Structure 1
């Protein structure tokens, strides 16, 4: 076993680019921001891109604003990274007690807490530079999300619904894309935000099933523990709410048959997740969780196609 292998994080894909190609001194920092596991960036980015595409449909534009899409991509990467470092600082003692997370750079001693804090501030400052490229309303809206981000890591200590708080934070982009285009909020992005919250609760419940035994032993809470063997009916509820909310937002913005066909494909994908989910198989849960990147792509393509074909 090579040194790169021994330093790898337990739940990172084997042979990922960080382990294989990144210079050795950068690897702990890239692992802290989950660069070896980009799914979190995708899940933070999709609501931003959906909202930007939804605004294009409402405005009668043929394409979403490409500059905004690029800004959101950079912002999602750095702010997801900053959030991961913050969570690791708060949770380092907890992570050391969980099999899946004890190999992370902070609990394993690869990075000091001081270095992690400096790194987090640098990432947050980069995110701020991205944010100030938008209009004043969007800047204020983006800053307003920081309170939710700050409290999230503590929620699993006090409630079985930390996934709902994650939904509040990870879905914020559903408001941001529309605000960037119009400089205001309307009902359509608010419905999209609610839909994204339901989607987040669903996919993060799947993710949390990987840690449920360790969480129970150390006294942490999650929807995975709350739902237990009844997770699938709860998934039907939350994924159903997500599809209904996305549909309502799309129709309110002026979407038509092209969008609805794409949404039906997305609903089928979520149905596949539920039907094939095995909450007692960690690998199964991780694969279904990661497949939400594909769901995000389906919805985005449906909105882009609707904008392009309906003008």
Structure 2
């Protein structure tokens, strides 16, 4: 096989697992880091941190491959996804499954270095990641399922650090679901017209003309939940400051989505990386050893 053909194949695989679009990795990583630092009440175990960071990259990549396999009959008809490797035929369906399996296995090899509860939760996380793409066929708000899947690094982090998942871990996961509904509704607003024609269910379709209000309400509820967690746990001004910065960022997103343009909604979705980073910065400073 010629070098150019090999490079083209590698490029197709890169696009399949979205390494060219790392925002998804960051949206998965930030809540995992919240969980690691808050469960440790300071700097987490370095080995667990390394495993979770690498595992996040692997599982997000595997999830993208599974998602494209599940949506292979829809993507070609959607403006945003029509050039994906499976939609164009550059990659065959069996290849996407093989890539997802290989990446999931690599992530599992990392997780087995941790305790039994974390291993069990990793299996649940894999099932959530594999089932999420199919919920768009029958569940009116698949974004809630995505929220659990993307936030499952939180209980796994608590399990890895403490050997159990405390009420704080589950509270953080519940709050995270609200954030995911907000940013993935923005994402779904980009494809709404195509999804209606294809019969795919999303929160953007469910909320209809109230979509902008629903997104902002989810942001508000998420930040209030995180503030409540901070008061409950006695976190300090750095934690609260991170939430205030996140609130300003959420307010900026209103400006981006209020006219419901594809470009504005997609920009707001991508910008959520900074919202997650702001909260992590607050957590990091608040939990820094004194």
TM-score past 0.5 threshold: yes
Aligned with 1:239 (options 219, 223, 234): 219
List gaps (5 residues or longer) in structure 1. 5-21
Q: Residue 134 of structure 2 aligns with which residue?
A: 154
Query: Number of paired residues?
Result: 286
The alpha carbon displacement at 1:230 in A equals 1.3
Q: Residue 179 of structure 1 aligns with which residue?
A: 159
- Structure 1 window deviating more from structure 2 (154-163 vs 22-31): it is 22-31
Q: Residue 306 of structure 1 aligns with which residue?
A: 286
Q: Residue 198 of structure 1 aligns with which residue?
A: 178
Aligned with 1:69 (options 34, 38, 49): 49
Cα distance in 2 for partners of 1:252, 1:150 equals: 34
Q: Residue 77 of structure 2 aligns with which residue?
A: 97
TM-score (norm 2): 0.93
Change (3 A) 1:245 1:56: same
CA contact (8 A) 2:256 2:267 kept: no
Cα distance in 2 for partners of 1:149, 1:113 equals: 17
Cα distance in 2 for partners of 1:270, 1:117 equals: 36
Equivalence map 1:105-120=2 (5 Å): 105-120=85-100
TM-score (norm 1): 0.87
SS of 2:227 mapped into structure 1: helix
CA contact (8 A) 1:162 1:223 kept: yes
Change (3 A) 1:251 1:134: farther
Q: Residue 38 of structure 2 aligns with which residue?
A: 54
CA contact (8 A) 1:41 1:77 kept: yes
Q: Residue 34 of structure 1 aligns with which residue?
A: 18
The alpha carbon displacement at 1:228 in A equals 2.5
Cα distance in 2 for partners of 1:77, 1:279 equals: 34
Alpha-carbon displacement from aligned partner over 1:174-233 (angstroms, at most 9, x marks no partner): 212222111101111111001110000000000001111111111111111122231222
| Residues 1:144 and 2:97 are matched in the alignment | no
Aligned with 1:126 (options 73, 88, 106): 106
Q: Residue 218 of structure 1 aligns with which residue?
A: 198
| Residues 1:80 and 2:60 are matched in the alignment | yes
Q: Residue 7 of structure 1 aligns with which residue?
A: none
Q: Residue 267 of structure 2 aligns with which residue?
A: 287
Alpha-carbon displacement from aligned partner over 1:137-178 (angstroms, at most 9, x marks no partner): 111112122332232112111122111111121111121222
The alpha carbon displacement at 1:279 in A equals 5.2
Q: Residue 24 of structure 1 aligns with which residue?
A: 8
